[in-house]
Amino acid sequence: MPTQLESWNDGAAKSAIIDFVTRVTTAGGPDFVPPAERIATFDNDGTLWLEKPLYIQLQHGLRAIGKAAAEKPELRDRQPFKAVYEKDMAWLGKAAADYAKGDPRGVFILVSGLTEVLEGVTVEAFEADVLEFLTNTQDARFKAPYKQLTYKPMVELVHALQDSGFQVFITSGGGRDFMRAVCEEIYGIPRAMVIGSSVTFQYSEDAQGVAQVVRTKEIEQPIDDGPGKPPHIHRAIGRRPILAAGNSDGDIPMLKYAVGHKGSSLALLVHHDDAEREYAYEGGAEKALQLAAKEGWVVASMKDDWKTVF
């Protein structure tokens, strides 16, 4: 590898990654993979950047929903506008916790509210709002803008793979256009290589007759999470990844899809076990951790394998 993953501690996880990349990039070797087939897919929330105490995109969405509820009193008697306007953290926290456990109903209510208030917004206006939020809104615990709260060891791995001839894609259950606003700046991943969930779009012309693409409130199906990830990967790339990285049960189908490659492959699971430097939790990752132990996937302990987090 061009880099030896300096922000990783020496150990089994680091060795497994370096060994894998060395084998698939050594021309003439038995595990050599041509550059065109060196596909890597990375989840985003909890794999590349912070996802606690609430998903970053969810916090952006809460701001938009709260603004709409403040401006339109008629919205305040139904969810999610009621909970956001009244700052009902019990309802909001339950929605996030249930989603981590595999019950998406509360989050889907939040998403439906967000798509409603953003209907008709141009893609450029949405991106500008996201960029402003990620640049200027600070995390309450870490006192840093959200776009700075990326995991240094994982970003370093992304760059090492790119330097080794891999095409690295983000494959996240989060919003594709939300991540596109900053993916090139914070990860060095081109926006065209971001796969994610999305609303549908339609053509429109503004008051000056300028052509625009605007958001609708309809959500593309399937969403890019759980069993929806492999179909999204195939549709966007047309190849099976040989390396996939995630952190939760929602990443299991993507990780399985990668290890289904007929040649060498690697499944990497980030384990959040560092309460001091980040958070320690296994909720929503129990099945993935059990499967990783059973199948021999590489588990990266945030506490033991990373010299630094951010």
Tens-digit pLDDT profile for residues 111-150: 999 999 999 999 999 999 999 999 999 999 999 999 999 9
Number of H helices, E strands in the chain: 13, 8
Residue 304 pLDDT: 98
Distant-in-sequence, close-in-space partners of 155: CB < 8 Å, separation ≥ 6: 48, 186, 187, 188
Tens-digit pLDDT profile for residues 44-73: 999 999 999 989 999 999 999 999 999 999
Q: Which of 95-99, 112-116, 285-289 has the lowest mean pLDDT?
A: 95-99
Residue type, 226: G
Question: 12-25 vs 152-163: helix axis angle to the nearest 10?
Answer: 20
**Residue 2, pLDDT above cutoff 80:** no
Distant-in-sequence, close-in-space partners of 152: CB < 8 Å, separation ≥ 6: 7, 306, 308, 309, 310
DSSP bridge pairs for 8: 306
Asked if residues 223 and 173 have their Cβ atoms less than 8 Å apart, the reply is: yes
Residue 38 pLDDT: 98
Q: Which domains are delineated in the chain? A: 12-49+148-305 (3.40.50.1000), 56-118 (no CATH)
Residue 142 pLDDT: 98
Three-state DSSP at 78 gives coil
DSSP bridge pairs for 219: 199
Whole-number Cα distances in Å, 198 to 77, 170, 175, 222: 27, 14, 6, 10
The CB-side HSE value for 38 (13 A sphere, CA atoms) comes to 22
pLDDT band at 102 (very low <50, low <70, confident <90, very high): confident
**Residue 35, pLDDT above cutoff 90:** yes
Full-model pTM:
0.95
**Residue 4, pLDDT above cutoff 90:** no
Residue 101 pLDDT: 78
* Sheet bearing 243-246, strands edge to edge: 194-197, 167-175, 39-42, 243-246, 266-271, 298-301
Report the residue count for the chain.
310
Distant-in-sequence, close-in-space partners of 66: CB < 8 Å, separation ≥ 6: 84, 85
Distant-in-sequence, close-in-space partners of 219: CB < 8 Å, separation ≥ 6: 111, 115, 197, 198, 199, 200
Pull the structure tokens for residue 73. Answer: 């009193």
Asked if residues 134 and 146 have their Cβ atoms less than 8 Å apart, the reply is: yes
**Residue 19, pLDDT above cutoff 90:** yes
Residue 63 pLDDT: 95
Cα 110 to Cα 106: distance, rounded to the nearest angstrom = 6
